[in-house]
Amino acid sequence: MGIYDPDPNQAPTVSAGPNQSARVGEPLKLNGTVTKAKVRDSGVGPENEKLVRLTIEWSLFQGPARGKARFDKKNVAATTATFNLPGTYVLRLRAEEVIPMGGSSIEHTADSFVTITIAA
């Protein structure tokens, strides 16, 4: 069986998309993207890629007091969000990648942020 030889400085590539604006209660499309880091292996083939676990999550990082962001699907890169109050919100798109390494694993986390301005 081959051994993973990932670049220890490589993490998934994450983009939360451009800053946007919308109105309270109006669904807003978030065009995030996540690309898995390339994993090199020593002689085993592409089946090793199946062992790499990638987790994606949108979350509200910062916003007005009592402000909430509701995500249609928070575990996919491209989704929609709805906001309950006017103000400026900062959303985080996080990708976590776990690469098995025998009895242990290597974990990489990457974040990207987008600013959303919500009008009444």
Tally the residues of the chain: 120
116, 81 in Cβ contact below 8 A? yes
Alpha carbon distance 43, 29 (integer Å): 42
Q: Would you list the domain boundaries of the chain?
A: 13-119
Domain 13-119's class? mainly beta
In SS3 terms, 66-96 reads as CCCEEECCCCCCEEEEEECCCEEEEEEEEEE
Distance CA 61, CA 94 (A): 11
pTM given for the model: 0.83
Reading the chain (120 residues) residue by residue, the pLDDT tens digits are 444 444 554 778 999 999 999 999 999 999 999 988 766 543 334 555 667 788 999 999 999 999 999 999 999 999 999 999 999 999 999 999 887 766 777 788 999 999 999 999
